[in-house]
């Protein structure tokens, strides 16, 4: 559809963003700013909430320029190769692939971690769990920390970096996630964190590890029946990182029975949990003699349970 402009020439009406492919981007002299706006519009139409932010992340990723540079040079023309790569990233995003998988890394506590298909994406609420553990680990010297169900390793690696005296074992069972864990350990170049391939549902003795002072875990905690109803992006994440069994509590039972008894006196276990699970988890640990404290996240949701091992 066209409208008559003041002059005689026909100019296209607002670009129809639903027309996929790169052609729409190339129909006119394309500037960085316009490319950013059109990309945001395209992904917003597919139901993405933070479309402007996501478009900026994709442009940064494809151009190698920072957001500030892109803003400052907004009037400069975008090269065809950039237009093409942004369009193909936007297509992937529109199809429901998480932004973090497309750009291949994501920040956790200010440090980048490789992510992609097969590994859970680091989340802001887990930063709270990790900060808390860092504070506790600094009080115990020397401190042995286990990060169980480590995934990308974002918790364990961040603890190891913040606490150079601590020794961290990051335990992960699944090949897909384990590959990211080892790459992330390499990336951060830390000597005090080791990856261990083991199943947290099996016993502690089976893993052949030293005695821990702190055990931290963000285990799978989604109720199995709720998996199909998760956001489309979350459904692209590995089910084994989300599926907490019928009631979502399967891993907390294993942690209480098979790992908590081995924690050194004076140490603690700290776990992330889903909405409405904190009381049940406290109950599971109470049966094993552990008194739980519950912390809320920034949304006010009970998100972390801490169980101390008395001296």
Q: CA torsion sign, 234 to 124 to 242 to 192?
A: positive
Q: CA torsion sign, 114 to 120 to 124 to 127?
A: negative
Q: Which CB atom, from 131 or from 264, has the smaller least distance to ligand GLN? A: 131
Dist. CA 148–CA 202, nearest whole Å: 12
Decide: is 217 part of the binding site for ligand GLN (CB under 6 A).
no
Tell me, rounded to whole angstroms, the distance of Cα 76 from its chain centroid: 34
Dist. CA 220–CA 239, nearest whole Å: 9
Q: How far is the CB of 304 from ligand GLN (least distance, A)?
A: 12
Q: How far is the CB of 107 from ligand GLN (least distance, A)?
A: 17
Decide: is 220 part of the binding site for ligand GLN (CB under 6 A).
yes
Decide: is 222 part of the binding site for ligand GLN (CB under 6 A).
yes
Q: Which CB atom, from 82 or from 99, has the smaller least distance to ligand GLN? A: 99
Are residues 204 and 262 in contact, defined by beta-carbon separation less than 8 angstroms? yes
DSSP single-letter state for residue 121:
P
Chain positions 110 to 169 lying near ligand GLN, rule: CB under 6 A, are 123
DSSP state letters, 210-235: PPPSEEEE----B-GGGGGGS-TTGG
Q: Which CB atom, from 86 or from 121, has the smaller least distance to ligand GLN? A: 121
Dist. CA 83–CA 31, nearest whole Å: 10
Q: Candidates 218, 282, 290, 304: give the one binding ligand GLN (CB under 6 A).
A: 218
DSSP state letters, 94-112: HTT--HHHHHSEEEETTEE
User: How many C-alpha atoms does 148 have within 13 Å on its Cβ side?
Assistant: 29
Q: Candidates 221, 252, 260, 285: give the one binding ligand GLN (CB under 6 A).
A: 221
Q: How far is the CB of 125 from ligand GLN (least distance, A)?
A: 7
Decide: is 207 part of the binding site for ligand GLN (CB under 6 A).
no
Decide: is 100 part of the binding site for ligand GLN (CB under 6 A).
no
Q: Which CB atom, from 17 or from 248, has the smaller least distance to ligand GLN? A: 248
Are residues 295 and 128 in contact, defined by beta-carbon separation less than 8 angstroms? yes
Segment contacting ligand GLN by CB under 6 A, of 3-11, 48-56, 163-171, 219-227:
219-227
Q: How far is the CB of 224 from ligand GLN (least distance, A)?
A: 11
Segment contacting ligand GLN by CB under 6 A, of 26-34, 160-168, 214-222, 258-266:
214-222
Listed in sequence order, the residues at least 6 apart from 283 whose beta carbon sits closer than 8 Å to its beta carbon are: none
Q: Which CB atom, from 250 or from 309, has the smaller least distance to ligand GLN? A: 250
Decide: is 281 part of the binding site for ligand GLN (CB under 6 A).
no
Q: Candidates 181, 242, 256, 270: give the one binding ligand GLN (CB under 6 A).
A: 242
Task: Please report where in the chains the tokens 């964190």 appear, as a residue.
Answer: 193
Decide: is 294 part of the binding site for ligand GLN (CB under 6 A).
no
Binding site for ligand GLN (CB under 6 A): 123, 218-222, 234, 242
């Amino acid at each position: 559809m066209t409208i008559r402009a003041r002059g005689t020439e026909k100019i296209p009406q607002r670009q129809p963003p639903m027309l996929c492919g790169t052609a729409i981007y190339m129909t006119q002299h394309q500037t960085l700013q316009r490319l950013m706006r059109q990309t945001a519009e395209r992904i917003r139409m597919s139901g993405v909430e933070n479309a402007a932010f996501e478009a900026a992340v994709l442009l940064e990723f494809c151009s190698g320029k920072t957001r500030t540079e892109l803003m400052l040079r907004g009037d400069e023309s975008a090269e065809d190769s950039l237009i093409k790569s942004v369009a193909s990233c936007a297509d992937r995003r529109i199809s429901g692939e998480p932004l973090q998988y497309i750009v291949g890394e994501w920040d956790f506590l200010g440090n980048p971690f490789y992510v992609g298909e097969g590994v859970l994406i680091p989340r802001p609420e887990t930063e709270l769990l990790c900060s808390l553990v860092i504070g506790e680990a600094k009080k115990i010297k020397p401190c042995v920390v286990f990060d169980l169900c480590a995934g990308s390793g974002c918790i364990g690696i961040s603890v190891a970096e913040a606490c150079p005296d601590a020794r961290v074992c990051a335990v992960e069972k699944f090949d897909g996630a384990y590959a990211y864990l080892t790459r992330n350990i390499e990336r951060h170049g830390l000597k005090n964190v080791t990856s261990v391939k083991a199943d947290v549902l099996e016993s502690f003795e089976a893993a052949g590890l030293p005695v821990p002072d702190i055990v931290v875990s963000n285990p799978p905690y989604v109720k199995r029946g709720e998996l199909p109803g998760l956001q489309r992006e979350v459904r692209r994440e590995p089910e084994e990182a989300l599926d907490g069994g019928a009631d979502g509590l399967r891993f907390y039972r294993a942690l209480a029975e098979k790992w908590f008894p081995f924690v050194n006196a004076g140490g603690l276990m700290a776990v992330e949990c889903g909405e409405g699970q904190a009381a049940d988890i406290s109950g599971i640990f109470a049966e094993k003699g552990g008194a739980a404290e519950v912390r809320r996240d920034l949304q006010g949701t009970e998100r972390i349970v801490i169980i101390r091992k008395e001296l």
